[in-house]
Amino acid sequence: MERVLITGGGGFIGSHLARRLFKKGDFVRIADIKFEDYIREKYCNEKSQLDLRILENCLTATKGMDKVYNLAANMGGIGFITEVGAEVMHDNVLINTYMLEAARQNKAKRYLYTSSACVYPTFRQIDPQVVGLREEDAYPADPDNFYGWEKLYTEKLCEAYQRDYKMDIRVLRYHNIYGPEGTFKGGREKAPAALCRKIAEATNPGTIEIWGDGKQTRSFCYVDDAVEGTVRLMESYYDKPINIGSERLVSINELTDIITKISGKKIEKTYNLNAPQGVRGRNADITLSKKVLDWEPKIDLEEGLVTTYKWIEERVKEDRA
């Protein structure tokens, strides 16, 4: 049995990761500033409500842990990270600086940091038919938002701790992870969850608003696949940044149409061209993860969205009740 800490364990990916490792038989401690508790069964051994912007709390969280998965972050969907800059950078730089230092002081055997596709340069993402982003494409640096700059900075901080303190560190870049049992309302939800909620709330027939013209493109990776890739990276020898995502590119219009078909409703789209929509196109190149992790997504978009939509539809019904 390994003793594992997952920060951000109250959030979406962190809670799914905790459940996976808890079922595997590891001792799992989760730490977060709040807990959504969308996963309703027991999924960890210890739950610590801690503000990880404080070094002492990071020392408490990492004490006695063999492995540290650092997923904690102040983050949200495109609306949130477009509007909020200073708070995101301030909070996340503190969390990540103190978590690295605490893991070093408490002699964690291995540390994993979850970065983001937001680190990639804007100039590589101006065409909806974007070429898949390779890990080396992060430089020369030009992230399109403050969140991306903070993520890229922390990647370099991890590199510095590897070099100076010989820490055993893993870094991954998530590309648009989606699935059930995560944030679906309140302004911090990502596009798949937001669209599922909008369609679930709509009448039949009904209308929903799309941010932008709907032609912007992304690739989406189901949370169970992302968790599998995360665990494989932690257990691997590979210690450079690596993509965890899907290579299937779809437009937001196409994503909406898939969810609409799942819902069984007749939905008309309207467009808000003044709303945040991020880069024009973003896709993952996962050649490296296939090679060094023997990993690629197994759950196709339609299958994952069926599960996601049904879960969010149930939550919408509960809210109405």
Write the CATH number for 42: 3.40.50.720
pLDDT level of residue 12 (50, 70, 90 thresholds): very high
263 with 110: CB under 8 angstroms?
no
- Across 42-51, average pLDDT: 98
Percent of the chain with pLDDT over 70: 100
Mean pLDDT of the chain: 97
The structure tokens 């003044």 sit at 274
Q: Is the pLDDT of residue 299 over 90?
A: yes
The structure tokens listed for 28 are: 């799992």
- Across 161-174, average pLDDT: 98
Active site includes 111? no
User: What pTM does this model have?
Assistant: 0.97
194 in any annotated domain = yes
* Region at 84 (left for phi over 0; alpha for psi -120 to 50; beta for the rest): beta
Angle, alpha carbons 47-30-21 (nearest 5°): 120
CA 238 to mean position of chain CA atoms: 20
- Shared-domain flag, residues 138 and 189: no
Q: What is the pLDDT of residues 247-272, one digit of tens each?
A: 999 999 999 999 999 999 999 999 99
Q: Please state, in angstroms and rounded to a whole number, the distance separating the CA atoms of residues 183 and 165.
A: 36
Please report the sign of the dihedral spanned by the C-alpha atoms of residue 124, residue 215, residue 78, residue 313: negative
- Shared-domain flag, residues 187 and 309: yes
The reported pLDDT for the residue numbered 77 is 84
The reported pLDDT for the residue numbered 78 is 87
- Shared-domain flag, residues 117 and 225: yes
111 in any annotated domain = yes
Q: What is the pLDDT of residues 207-252, one digit of tens each?
A: 999 999 999 999 999 999 999 999 999 999 999 999 999 999 999 9
- Shared-domain flag, residues 226 and 252: no
- Shared-domain flag, residues 258 and 121: no
- Shared-domain flag, residues 144 and 188: no
Q: Is the pLDDT of residue 144 over 90?
A: no
- Shared-domain flag, residues 213 and 233: no
Which residues contact residue 64 at a Cβ distance below 8 angstroms, ignoring those fewer than 6 apart? 3, 106
Q: Is the pLDDT of residue 1 over 90?
A: no
State which residues form the domain around 196.
183-219+248-283+299-313
Q: Is the pLDDT of residue 313 over 90?
A: yes
Catalytic residue among 43, 98, 113, 147: 147
